[in-house]
Structure 1
Amino acid sequence: MRNARRMMQTVLFAASLAIANAAMALDVAGVKVEERVQVAGKELALNGAGLRTRLFFKVYVAALYAEKPSKDATVLIAGPGSRRIVMTMLRELDAETLQGALEEGLRNNLTEAERAALKPSIEALGTAMRSIGKVVPGDTVTLDFSGEGLSIAYNGSPRGKIADERIGPAVLKVWLGEKPAEEALKQALLGR
């Protein structure tokens, strides 16, 4: 009898842990956003997540992860440690549209001289984005930022790596810069 009771307590405890774990994921526009991710052997915590809209259309859910979460955009852009942005698509888009949006964000947040200095890296980013082709709802585009550069993946499959320590902070400005893609999304990514 004691063993049966102990077994039942163990089962109930395990079930409560499973339920608590499921509750740890955040839901944004129907997309499950994990609280933590592993990147190159490091655990990153969710800094914030939000919805990207364009002309009233839901485009994607973005989630920002950082080794050291912060509500300060400057720290997240230029600070040390790894960061990751995961974009989960809510609409069908072609790669040129994604690439164009990134390039627009770079134009809005970098000077002409900064863009000129980053030209080879920006071109490499464009090549990686074009290699994706068309995205459909549920697809993910992942950008991993480290002190060594930027890695791009599509649905978990590597699409490119840019070995330029300056490209990561530049691309993060697309979402976190002074002229972000969308102010409400910036605030959500900052956990505000």
Structure 2
Amino acid sequence: MRRAFLSTLLALALPTLPLGALAETVEAGGAKFDTTAEVAGQKLVLNGLGVRYKAIFKVYTVGFYFKQKADTPDGLIKQDGPKRVLLKMLRDVDGKDLGKAFTDGMQKNALPEERAKTINGIFKFGQIFNDMKKAPSGAAIGIDWIPGTGAQVFVDYKPVGEVIPEPEFFNALLRIWLGEKPADDDLKNQLLGKEKRGR
């Protein structure tokens, strides 16, 4: 009798929950991403999402969060306010190998006029992955841009390493996927919301 009474109370209470209480998610490569995120007290929206492949293997799913959606690289890179790059690993990857892939991508795509101001950040960023040893399958790795503070790397939503203050570093980071020589052309379009997400 008591159990039935409690079940009735629960059934009556559930419809009164606000719609936003349950976060909406989308999926790519088997990894789920919330369609919104909060960084520096501001709500961001998922601009695009896709899977990074190496040959035929899925390496990670990556999503971009910004205040406003945009479908061009400049529309995202030059946008003011907080930003988030979030990766969810789909396989175990050596930390040094992952760090090298990221730093190579930044160096390849950094604008000539910004390159000198990216050196400090690229070095610190690479060191974080060297120290990590391994990026295991299932890990969430992200970089938040916080205006007035800088870029904060986090692993499984816990901050790691020093804050990187140069905005040029975060611009170079975004250009790994959005630059003239992106990691993957299809992934670039997915992150810009122009193509269907990878399976």
Percent sequence identity is 31
Give yes or no for the alignment of 1:128 onto 2:125. no
Q: Structure 1 121/17 Cα, relative in aligned 2: closer, same or farther at 3 Å?
A: closer
Q: 1:9 to 1:117 in 2, by over 3 A?
A: closer
Q: Does 1:158 align with 2:159?
A: yes
Alignment gaps of 5+ in structure 1 = 1-5
- Tell me the CA shift for residue 17 of structure 1: 4.7
Matched, 1:92 2:92: yes
Distance in 2 of aligned mates of 1:48 and 1:185: 9
1:183 maps to 2:182: no
Aligned to 1:72: 72
In structure 1, what residue type is equivalent to 2:132? I
- Name the CA distance, whole Å, in 2 between partners of 1:99 and 1:51: 18
RMSD: 2.5
Q: Which residue of structure 2 lines up, in the alignment, with residue 142 of structure 1?
A: 142
Query: 1:28-47 counterparts in 2 under 5 A?
Result: 28-47=28-47
Report the CA distance shift for 1:17/1:94 in structure 2 as closer, same or farther (over 3 A). Answer: same
User: Hey, what's the Cα distance between the residues in 1 that align with 2:108 and 2:190?
Assistant: 20
* Amino acid aligned to 1:107: Q
Give secondary structure in 1 for the equivalent of 2:132: coil
Take 1:21 and 1:11, find their aligned partners in 2: how far apart are those partners? 15
1:52 Cα deviation (Å)? 0.5
What is residue 3 of structure 2 aligned with on the other side?
none
**1: CA distance, partners of 2:114 / 2:14:** 57
Distance between the aligned counterparts of 1:151 and 1:8, measured in 2? 41
Q: Does 1:118 align with 2:123?
A: no
